């Protein structure tokens, strides 16, 4: 301290003198140069010479500039000199101070500074000692750090080191002799360390066992310090002995017995010291101990010239690595110890200090250390290196080595994600084990375990190693359980069992239990039952003949077998195994008797399987569980193990209303009688509670909670069960005890309040405030108080009935306001303040306010939600992530609902003013939906890592509000996340399926395209289709890489779908059928494929049709072709020959019909667009292609639309041809599910003829319409108008149910037919009576429309007109007099005669050649006039 004070005073004086100094320019330069190295003087002198020459050779201006700037340069140099001199002075002083401090530190640490403060690795020090032992000087016992570093530098400098050695030899002649010279004293000294360290370890252990209340921290520190001091003294002793041995001039002569004694004692003391240092967590001390031991052993080896036996045993290094692993030492420190052991100690270099070769004990210690630090790849690499002898040391493993490696691989398989091994480990595995691709597992840990298994011989393995291997298989079976990439754990387990039989290693009951667990998790009841039978049969075999046998099953084995059967819905088999256990237990004393734990395991398996089943399967599981419970109750009456609280709690979790109803409908004679005799579900629950009371089984909070939740949505039943809980004195007494509350964890620890919250949750869903009031009243009767969860249920109940004002009153009441509490009493009879504890008032919690905001938004009460939010801000509360997510979802729901209302208004406006809007497009005015969607987008920015279940509703809300770009940005964001899931370091598709984004995207894609189709927005639809197509291509590429397929390095430029469908690029004729739907193995794993499906293409067609984009419709139809072909009737099971199935299951005709009905609207949308744009040629082409693809008749709406567009272009004959072509296709037989009563009245044929006749009639093509009517009537598809059984003096025509056009054709065809009959010259003498009806089926009841329209038609469209008058007394009949009919007949004859004469004249002109001659003369005259006009124009130009 005095030295430091002197240095500080000198520093102050030197700094002060430097700051007040004012040297000249030259002195500054000289002083500055004195501080620089010699090379700097030459550079500075050269720069000065260059500056001088520069001033002489340049002009005057530069010289003047140099003179004027010299003052500034001088000032700058002075400041630089002051700062540099000050810096150099401080550096020198601080260096001197640090040197003296380290000198003091080195003096305090002693002679071991070389090992404790040096930065040189210990291996380097050992090698230097071995090379330079005869030349190296001894280090002084109290040497400083400076001397130590100088000594280390001299070790590698050859001859330069002799100078320092000679100077120190004289001062060390009087060094003390080491105790190693006297082995007895040395052994006694080493033995003295053992009791000291052991005594301190026992004191520390006793101190750790004391209760926390009586512990004294200062005593703990004293015990730790004593342990550290004891171990440190051992380090000092070993280092001193090593240094003393190095100073000896003579060689040691030690016998083998002496070295053996020293080795034993040294091993004991080192093991004790290392363990003690590990207990205090001092890994630095462990490092010192092992290096001191290595140094001491090296010194003895040098002094004995390797004639004595080595001093160290390999076990010491195993203990050191094990102890180091228990501390907080990093992996690099443990690895450095292992490298010291392999490279320096265990190597073949001289001197040899290890008594024997390294064994598996040290290897297992290192592998255990790596396993504890999750260094799987490092452990596998280390084991491979030890096998391959890469470092000159080969260590073979044992059964414990295999157990460590297999256990490490099993622990690395996690449910959160499956990572793939790195390339180096994968290459090592591929070099060791050649596994067939078909048999390889998607779990790389299992494949690696199989590769490691081949590196062990049968003598190196035992039962524990195989049990660890089966644990890897069990974890892989549990994690890799998805379809498509499933790990076949059952087959792998059986193969391991076969290998154990080959190696003659009989499995024990633990190994068989692991096998049974794999069968249970793999849901293979057959394998479980087979193994159980084999274990039972093996016990009966002769002991002399058994070289390999299975153990007897125990309780756990039986429980797993029963669980596997119950999990696979094999309830009868599970019950039979239970009966078998009971029978064997009664007959044989050595057999296992079933206990409560076995029965509970079977019931729990039914409960787990019930969560993934449908109603009928749930009923079967419930029946199995109830039968097991009934069996347990019978055992209770016999004094055996009966059901307990866990049994009934599991039964209550299985119960629900759907399972109860399905179970009652089952015709099972073994069904529980107590279920059949109850009509109400709550009675079943109450009966089970009474059964618990009768058998003396205690009820806890979970019992009543499960019983209430089983009631579902019946709040009265929930109230009834809650009152049973209140009246249960045994439950109330135990619920108030602290010991019973400690047994239940989480929310169930609250006891009665936990049960009351269950009843309040049921009432909050139904909105039954009376039940809420009664539950709170009953809760107060037992002295219990509500908590925050109870308040949240009350808020939700108020929200479900829409009373948002009382939500505000409740929040005010929670602050302690009496007037708000009076409002709750007055309206709902709920006293909130009296049912809350005084400590909880005011209750201002974020979850309550969030529930209030969500409930208000659910009923569109934005004002109430805003007030609650302001109240949160005043109270200093902020929304958490979960609450913010709920609010965002409510805003999305409101945006979608508002969008529906805006679409309704837009449709009404379009109907009222059809000419205002664009064709086919409904353009709503987005106001409310836009604001709410934008609010959801703004709040989404506050969510950290939003889930796909949150992003999907926001994207839908944006589409509903017309925010197409925002929706596309969210979709692309989800696509990028899905691609990251693909590119995550995984080698299996099961992880891909577990990815949340990939599971959510197919549903989102369909919803977005529906919004586009709803408003006819084709541009967003095509943009979404581009993004979907890109994602599907990425998935296909990833699937190819997983399957090992080579991908092309140069991919062709992908043409965007929007440009292709917009007709900028020609659509190819042969589009691949699986181009956009195939996503590799994901197609069969996911519920929907990622790519565009047939329904997606249909939605794009609908969007294009409503937007009037006929080119997009033309380009989209080829892409929908493969999905239409799949519905062809020839692929149906009923219509295909049996021998052509080739083992593949064909769909039924009913399924194909339903699939066709879902996709057939696509053609209708395209034809409607072609009709609107008058593209009749594309309409005909589309219908022809559709008929070819589907093999069915197109929808009548599509054919009718095509007929209308053809009639609009006056192509009547093509209409007739189209109808004939459609009618020629055989009709597909409809199943019972597809047929309906409406189809029988208005058939496909009748609708098609009617619509085509209407189209022709509308555009004045009456003859083609009459021809179609005649064909339809002749084929029986249209009714024939003439009534045969009537008065012969009149002609009656029945036109009931006909349209105006069909009625016109019916009258014309009927009259023409009658005209043909009277063509023999007879006179028409009949009146025509037309029956039109009274208008019962018209749009306006009893106001006939057909009568008026027929009168107009007969007067305006018949030449001459027909006068039709109503029949007196019958408004539904018209009468046409015979005179008008005769006049019309005569006119028709004259018209026919004139047409025939015109045709004959035309034929005569053609045959005589007169018409041709006139045509040629007309053409020659036109040519002559044209030539004359041309020459006249030329003359006029020439004159000009």
pLDDT tens digits, residue range 438-464? 456 778 888 888 888 888 888 888 888
How many residues are recorded in the chain? 1440
Q: What percent of the chain has pLDDT over 90?
A: 15
**Could you give the CA distance from residue 1136 to residue 1146 in angstroms, rounded to a whole number?**
8
Tokens for 1277, please give them.
Answer: 């598809």
131-159 residue pLDDT tens: 443 333 333 333 333 333 333 333 333 33
* C-alpha span between 923 and 926 (Å, rounded): 9
Q: Name every residue whose Cβ is closer than 8 Å to that of residue 1394 and which is 6 or more positions away in sequence.
A: none
Give pLDDT, residue 1058.
47
Q: What is the mean pLDDT of residues 919-938?
A: 83
CB atoms within 10 A of CB 435: 14
1377, 1330 in Cβ contact below 8 A? no
Nearest alpha carbon to residue 291 among 320, 258, 325, 328:
320
β-strand pairing of 1365-1367 with 1370-1376: antiparallel
Q: Are 384 and 341 in contact (CB under 8 A)?
A: no
The overall average pLDDT reported for the chain is 75
Per-residue pLDDT at 170 = 41
Peptide bond into 351 cis (omega under 30): yes
At residue 597, the pLDDT reads: 79
Measured between alpha carbons, how far is 1138 from 1145 in angstroms, rounded to an integer? 10
Enumerate helices (H) and strands (E) in the chain, giving the number of each.
Answer: 66, 4
- Alpha carbon distance, N-terminus to C-terminus of the chain: 127
Whether 525 and 565 have beta carbons less than 8 Å apart is answered as: yes
pLDDT at residue number 750:
75
Asked if residue 125 has pLDDT above 80, the reply is no
- Asked whether the beta carbons of 1019 and 1009 are under 8 A apart, the reply is no
% the chain with pLDDT above 70: 69
Which of 269-273, 654-658, 1402-1406 is most confident?
269-273
List the single range of 411-425, 1117-1131, 1397-1411 with lowest mean pLDDT: 411-425
Between strands 1327-1331 and 1370-1376, the pairing is antiparallel
H helix intervals, 326-462: 331-339, 360-372, 376-388, 399-412, 423-432, 444-453
Strand partners for 771: none
pLDDT at 1111 (0 to 100):
92
- Give the model confidence (pLDDT) of 69-105 as tens digits: 344 445 455 555 555 555 555 556 555 655 555 444 4
pLDDT-derived band of residue 620, with 50, 70 and 90 as boundaries? confident
Count Cα neighbours of 754 within 13 Å in the Cβ-side half-sphere: 21
Flag whether pLDDT at 1010 surpasses 80: yes
* 1402-1439 pLDDT, tens digit each: 777 666 666 666 666 776 677 777 777 776 776 776 76
């Amino acid at each position: 301290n005095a030295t430091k004070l002197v240095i500080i005073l000198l520093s102050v004086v030197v700094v002060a003198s430097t700051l007040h100094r004012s040297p000249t320019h030259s002195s500054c330069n000289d002083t500055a140069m004195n501080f620089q190295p010699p090379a700097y003087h030459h550079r500075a002198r050269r720069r000065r010479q260059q500056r001088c020459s520069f001033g002489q050779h340049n002009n005057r201006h530069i010289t003047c500039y140099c003179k004027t700037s010299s003052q500034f340069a001088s000032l700058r140099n002075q400041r630089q000199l002051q700062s540099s001199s000050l810096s150099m002075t401080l550096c020198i002083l601080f260096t001197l101070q640090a040197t003296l401090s380290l000198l003091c530190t080195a003096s305090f640490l002693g002679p071991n500074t070389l090992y404790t403060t040096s930065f040189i690795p210990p291996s380097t020090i050992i090698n230097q000692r071995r090379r330079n032992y005869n030349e190296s000087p001894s280090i002084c016992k109290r040497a400083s750090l400076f001397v130590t570093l100088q000594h280390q530098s001299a070790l590698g400098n050859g001859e330069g080191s002799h100078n320092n050695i000679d100077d120190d030899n004289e001062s060390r002649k009087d060094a003390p002799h080491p105790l190693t010279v006297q082995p007895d004293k040395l052994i006694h000294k080493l033995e003295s360390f053992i009791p000291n360290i052991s005594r301190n370890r026992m004191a520390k252990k006793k101190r750790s066992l004391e209760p926390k209340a009586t512990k004294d921290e200062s005593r703990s520190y004293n015990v730790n310090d004593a342990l550290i001091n004891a171990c440190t003294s051992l380090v000092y002793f070993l280092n001193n002995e090593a240094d003393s041995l190095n100073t000896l001039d003579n060689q040691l002569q030690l016998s083998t017995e002496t070295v053996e004694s020293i080795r034993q004692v040294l091993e004991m003391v080192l093991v004790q010291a290392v363990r003690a240092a590990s207990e205090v967590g001092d890994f630095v001390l462990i490092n010192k101990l092992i290096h001191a031991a290595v140094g001491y052993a090296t010194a003895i080896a040098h002094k004995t010239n390797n004639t004595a036996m080595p001093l160290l045993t390999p076990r010491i290094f195993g203990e050191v690595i094990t102890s180091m692993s228990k501390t907080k030492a990093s992996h690099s420190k443990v690895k450095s110890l292992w490298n010291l052991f392999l490279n320096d100690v265990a190597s073949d270099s001289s001197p040899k200090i290890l008594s024997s070769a390294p064994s598996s004990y040290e290897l297992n210690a290192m592998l255990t250390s790596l396993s504890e630090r999750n260094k799987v790849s490092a452990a596998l690499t280390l084991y491979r290196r030890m096998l391959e002898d890469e470092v000159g040391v080969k260590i073979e493993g044992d059964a414990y080595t295999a157990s460590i490696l297999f256990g490490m691989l099993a622990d690395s398989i996690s449910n959160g994600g499956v990572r793939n091994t790195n390339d180096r480990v994968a290459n090592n595995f591929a070099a060791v084990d050649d596994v067939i691709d078909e048999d390889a597992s998607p779990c790389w840990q299992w494949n690696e375990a199989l590769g490691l298994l081949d590196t062990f011989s049968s003598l190196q393995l035992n039962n524990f190693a195989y049990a660890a291997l089966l644990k890897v298989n069990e974890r892989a079976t549990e994690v890799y359980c998805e379809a498509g990439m499933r790990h076949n754990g059952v087959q792998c387990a059986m193969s391991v069992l076969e290998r154990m039989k080959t190696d003659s290693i009989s499995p024990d009951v633990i190994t068989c239990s692991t096998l049974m667990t794999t069968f249970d998790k793999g849901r293979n009841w057959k394998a479980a039952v087979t193994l159980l039978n084999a274990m039972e049969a093996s016990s009966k075999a002769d002991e002399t003949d058994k070289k390999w046998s299975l153990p007897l099953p125990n309780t756990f084995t039986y429980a797993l077998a029963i669980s596997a059967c119950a999990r696979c819905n094999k309830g009868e088999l599970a019950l039979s195994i239970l009966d078998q256990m009971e029978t064997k237990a009664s007959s044989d004393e050595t057999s296992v008797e079933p206990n409560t734990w076995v029965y509970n395991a079977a019931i729990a398996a039914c409960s787990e399987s019930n969560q993934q089943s449908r109603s009928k399967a749930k009923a079967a599981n419930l029946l199995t569980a109830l039968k097991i419970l009934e069996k347990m109750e019978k055992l209770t009456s016999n004094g055996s193990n009966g059901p307990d609280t866990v049994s009934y709690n599991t039964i209550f979790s299985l119960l629900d209303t759907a399972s109860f109803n399905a179970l009652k409908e089952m015709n099972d004679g073994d069904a529980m009688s107590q279920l059949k005799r109850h009509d109400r579900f709550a009675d079943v629950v109450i009966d089970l509670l009474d059964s618990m009371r009768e058998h003396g089984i205690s009820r806890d909070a979970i019992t009543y909670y499960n019983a209430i939740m089983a009631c579902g949505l019946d709040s009265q039943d929930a109230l009834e069960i809650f009152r049973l809980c209140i009246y249960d004195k045994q439950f109330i007494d135990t619920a108030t005890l602290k010991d019973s509350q400690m047994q239940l964890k989480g929310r169930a620890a609250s006891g009665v309040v936990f049960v009351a919250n269950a009843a309040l949750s049921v009432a909050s869903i139904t909105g039954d405030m009376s039940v809420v009031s009664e539950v709170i009243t009953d809760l107060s009767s037992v002295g219990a108080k509500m908590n925050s969860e109870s308040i949240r249920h009350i808020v939700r109940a108020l929200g479900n009935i829409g009373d948002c004002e009382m939500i505000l009153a409740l929040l005010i009441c929670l602050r302690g306001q009496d007037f708000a509490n009076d409002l709750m009493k007055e309206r709902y009879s709920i006293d909130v303040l009296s049912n809350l504890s005084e400590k909880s008032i005011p209750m201002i919690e974020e979850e309550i306010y969030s529930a209030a905001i969500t409930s208000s938004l659910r009923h569109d009460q934005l004002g109430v939600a805003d007030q609650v939010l302001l109240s949160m801000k005043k109270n200093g509360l902020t929304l958490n992530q979960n609450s913010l997510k709920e609010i965002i979802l409510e805003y999305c729901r409101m945006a979608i609902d508002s969008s529906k209302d805006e679409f309704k208004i837009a449709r009404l406006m379009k109907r009222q003013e059809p000419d205002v809007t664009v064709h086919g497009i409904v353009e709503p005015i987005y106001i409310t939906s836009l604001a709410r969607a934008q609010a959801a987008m703004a709040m989404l920015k506050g969510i950290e890592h939003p889930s796909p279940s949150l992003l999907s509703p926001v994207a839908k809300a944006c589409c509903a509000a017309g925010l197409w770009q925002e929706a596309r940005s969210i979709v692309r964001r989800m696509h990028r996340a899905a691609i990251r899931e693909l590119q995550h370091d995984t080698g299996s598709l099961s992880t891909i399926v577990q990815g949340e984004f990939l599971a959510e995207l197919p549903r989102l894609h369909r919803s977005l395209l529906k919004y586009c189709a709803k408003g006819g927005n084709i541009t967003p639809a095509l943009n979404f289709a581009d993004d979907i197509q890109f994602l599907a291509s990425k998935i296909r590429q990833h699937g190819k890489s997983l399957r090992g397929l080579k991908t092309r390095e140069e991919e062709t430029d992908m043409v965007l779908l929007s440009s292709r469908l917009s007709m900028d690029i020609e659509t190819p004729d042969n589009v691949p059928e699986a181009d956009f739907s195939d996503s590799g193995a994901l197609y069969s794993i996911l519920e929907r494929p990622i790519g565009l499906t047939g329904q997606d293409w249909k939605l794009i067609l609908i969007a294009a049709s409503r937007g009037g984009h006929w080119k997009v419709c033309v380009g989209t139809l080829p892409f929908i072709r493969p999905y239409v072909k799949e519905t062809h009737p020839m692929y149906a099971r009923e219509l295909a020959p049996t021998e052509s199935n080739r083992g593949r299951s064909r769909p039924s005709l009913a399924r194909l019909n339903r699939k066709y009905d879902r996709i057939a609207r696509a053609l209708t949308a395209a034809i409607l667009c072609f009709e609107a744009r008058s593209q009749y040629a594309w309409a005909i082409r589309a219908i022809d292609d559709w008929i070819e693809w589907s093999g069915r008749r197109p929808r009548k709406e599509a054919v009718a639309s095509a007929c209308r567009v053809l009639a609009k272009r006056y192509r009547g004959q093509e209409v007739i041809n189209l109808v004939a072509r459609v009618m020629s296709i055989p009709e597909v037989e409809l199943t019972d599910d597809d047929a309906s009563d409406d189809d029988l009245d208005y058939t496909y044929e009748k609708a098609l003829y009617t619509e085509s006749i209407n189209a022709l009639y509308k555009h004045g093509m009456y003859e083609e319409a009459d021809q179609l009517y005649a064909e339809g009537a002749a084929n029986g598809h249209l009714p024939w108008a003439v009534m045969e059984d009537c008065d012969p003096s009149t002609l009656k025509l029945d036109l009931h149910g006909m349209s105006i056009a069909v009625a016109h054709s019916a009258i014309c065809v009927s009259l023409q037919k009658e005209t043909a009959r009277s063509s023999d010259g007879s006179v028409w003498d009949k009146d025509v009576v037309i029956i039109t009806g009274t208008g019962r089926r018209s749009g306006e009841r009893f106001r006939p429309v057909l009568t008026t329209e027929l009168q107009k038609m007969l007067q305006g469209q018949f030449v001459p007109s027909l006068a039709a008058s109503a029949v007196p007394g019958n408004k539904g009949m018209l009468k046409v007099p015979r005179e008008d009919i005769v006049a019309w007949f005569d006119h028709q004859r004259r018209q026919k005669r004139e047409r025939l004469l015109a045709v004959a004249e035309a034929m005569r002109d053609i045959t005589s050649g007169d018409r041709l001659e006139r045509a040629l003369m007309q053409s020659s005259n036109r040519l002559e006039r044209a030539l004359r006009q041309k020459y006249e124009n030329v003359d006029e130009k020439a004159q000009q």
